[in-house]
Amino acid sequence: YTGKESEEVMSSKIRNIIVSDVQSVPILIKKDTSIYEAIVKMFLEDVGTLYAIDEDNGLAGVISRKDLLRGTMGGNDIEKTPVSVIMTRKPSITICYPNDLLIYAANQLIEKQIDSLPVVENHDGVERVIGRITKTNIARVFVNLME
């Protein structure tokens, strides 16, 4: 390949990657979980974002590291206060679908200045979280293409 041709091969490869090709496993907690339990879960699972689900297992909220930090401030009893008090909730959640292009998801992360997107599937009107797209997923794709 000439330089220009290999650039074209590379960019067409990137354009063909979809979310389900690279998504990772989402870590879910019930929205009535305490802030304390959520912090423990975040450490044990070694993730930066947790997703809260409601009674019908649908997506209810996003909990980031900074949300939890904020939750520990201002005198909350973190063993009693549920994450629903501090999470980002619907309809403010940016989501993506398994068949979305990865480049679309990457753009959303940059535009919204967030670290991850929940990957959801609709089941009878309920948004089930089936994956997670993070900046790390995208960096890994980048490295794999270079190798």
Q: Where do contacts with ligand ADP occur on this chain (CB under 6 A)?
A: 49, 62, 64-67, 88, 92-94, 114-117
- The beta-carbon contacts of 135-144 under 8 Å, at least 24 apart in sequence, are 135/109, 136/24, 137/22, 137/23, 137/24, 138/22, 138/102, 138/105, 138/106, 138/109, 140/22, 141/14, 141/17, 141/22, 141/102
Please say which residue, 93 or 141, places its beta carbon nearer to ligand ADP: 93
Please say which residue, 24 or 88, places its beta carbon nearer to ligand ADP: 88
Supply the minimum distance, in Å, between the C-beta of residue 104 and ligand ADP.
13
Please say which residue, 67 or 141, places its beta carbon nearer to ligand ADP: 67
Supply the minimum distance, in Å, between the C-beta of residue 4 and ligand ADP.
36
